[in-house]
A and B are shown apart, each in its own frame.
Chain A
Amino acid sequence: MNTTSATLAPVFTFLEHTLTTAQTTFNKLPGSAVIQRYVKSSHQNDPGRTLLELILVIFAIRTLLQSRTRADRNGKNFIQFSEKEIDELVDEWIPEPLGNALTANEQSDLASAPIISGPNGPKPKLAATGKNALNLASYNFTGLAGNEHIKQRAIDTLRKYGLGSCGPPGFYGTLDVHMDLENDIADFLGTEAAILYSQGFSTISSVIPAFCKRGDIIVADRAVNFAIQKGIQISRSTIRWFDHNDLNSLEEVLIGIEKERKKRRGPMTRRFIVTEGIFQKDGAMVDLPKLIELKYKYKYRLILDESYSFGSVGRTGRGLTELYNVPASKVDMLLGSCAIGLASAGGFCAGSRTVVDHQRINGPSFVFSASMPALLAVSASEGINILRNTPSIFETLQDNVRAARAILDRVDCITIPSHPASPIIHIYVRQPQSHQYLQYPAPISASSSSSSAKHHHSHHVSAKDAVRDAEYEVEERLLQEVVEETLSHGVIVTRAKRLKGQEIVEPRPSIRLTLTSGLTKKETEKAVNVLKTVLVKVLSKRR
Chain B
Amino acid sequence: MALSKSNKSSSIFNKKRSSNATGALPASAASYLSALSEADASARKRNVSPTSTPALSLSSSITSSSEDTILHEPEYLRDPLLASNKDGLLLPARPPTSEQVFNTVHTEFGHCADERYRTTSQHKLGTPLAPHVEQDPPYYILLSTYISYLILIVLGHVRDFIGKRLNPKRYKHLMPGGGYAPLNSDFDSFYTRRLKTRMDECFSQPVTGVAGRTILLLDRYSPDYNHTQILTGTRTRALNISSYNYLGFAQARGPCADAVEESIKRYGISSLGARLDAGTTDLHVVSEALVAKFVGMEDALISSMGFATNSTYIPALVGKGCLVISDEFNHASIRFGVRISGAHVRMFRHNDMRALEALLKEVISQGQPKTHRPWKKILVIVEGLYSMEGTLVNLPAIMELKKKYKFYLYVDEAHSIGALGPHGRGVADYFGVNPREIDLLMGTFTKSFGAAGGYIAGSKALIDVLRVHGHSGAYAEAMAPPVLTQVVSSMASIMGLQVAAGDTTTTGNGNGIVEEQVYHHPGPAPINSIPSWVHLPPALASGQEGSSRLRRLAFNARYLHNGLIKLGFITYGHPSSPIVPLLLFNPGKMNMFHRLMKERKTPIVVVVVAYPATPLVTSRVRFCVSAAHTKEDVDCVLKACVEVGDVLDLRHGIPVRERWSLEEVVERAVELGTME
Q: Which residues of A contact B (CB under 8 A)?
A: 67-69, 71, 73, 75, 77-79, 81, 85-86, 89-90, 93-102, 106-107, 109-110, 113-121, 127, 135, 137-140, 145-147, 150-151, 154-155, 158-167, 169-177, 179, 198-202, 205, 211, 213, 216, 225-227, 230, 233-234, 268-271, 299, 301, 337, 339-340, 343-345, 354-355, 358, 360-361, 364-365, 367-370, 372-373, 375-376, 379, 492, 494, 497-499, 502, 512, 514
Contact = CB atoms under 8 A, between A and B. Distances in A.
A344 B264 contact: no
A154 to B, nearest CB: 5
B211 A176 contact: no
A99 B242 CA distance: 38
Q: Which of A93, A170, A171, A225 has the most CB of B within 10 A?
A: A171
Nearest to A87: B361
17 contacts: A77-B370, A85-B365, A95-B375, A109-B468, A110-B467, A113-B275, A119-B266, A119-B267, A158-B257, A158-B261, A160-B209, A162-B250, A199-B477, A227-B475, A492-B278, A497-B474, A502-B471
B406 A369 contact: no
Nearest to B360: A90
A310 B211 CA distance: 32
Contact of A138 (B278, B306, B374, B482): B278
The 5 closest A-B pairs by CB, nearest first: A201-B476, A99-B465, A138-B272, A199-B305, A497-B474
Given A120-B279, A230-B340, A375-B482, A145 B203 contact: no
B211 A69 contact: no
A378 to B, nearest CB: 10
Given A121-B268, A230-B471, A98 B282 contact: no
B315 A69 contact: no
A115 B280 contact: yes
Contact of A163 (B208, B370, B407, B483): B483
B451 A202 contact: no
A365 B176 CA distance: 28
Contacts of B461: 99, 101-102
A376 B365 contact: no
Interface of B: 74-76, 108, 173, 176, 178-184, 188, 192, 196, 203-212, 215, 218, 240, 242-245, 249-253, 256-257, 260-261, 264-282, 284-285, 304-308, 311-312, 315-317, 328, 331-333, 336, 339-340, 346-349, 355, 358-362, 364-366, 369-370, 372, 374-379, 404-408, 439-440, 444-447, 449-452, 461-462, 464-469, 471-477, 480-483, 486, 605, 607
Given A90-B405, A138-B272, A166 B244 contact: yes
Nearest to A280: B475
A368 B307 contact: yes
Given A98-B462, A163-B483, A499-B474, 4 more contacts: A102-B461, A113-B275, A160-B210, A174-B207
B196 A234 contact: no
A270 B181 contact: yes
B282 A370 contact: no
Contacts of B469: 99, 499, 502
Contacts of B208: 161, 175-177
A345 B271 CA distance: 9
A145 B268 CA distance: 7
Nearest to A501: B469
Contacts of A164: 211, 249-250, 445-446, 449-452, 483, 486
A365 B482 contact: no
Contact of A69 (B209, B349, B377): B349
Contacts of B270: 120, 145, 339, 343-345, 379
B477 A369 contact: no
Contacts of A75: 369
A159 B181 contact: no
Contacts of A373: 451-452, 480, 482-483
A115 B339 contact: no
Nearest to A178: B206
Contacts of B379: 98
A213 B184 CA distance: 10
Nearest to B477: A339
Given A160-B209, A175-B207, A361-B196, A98 B408 contact: yes
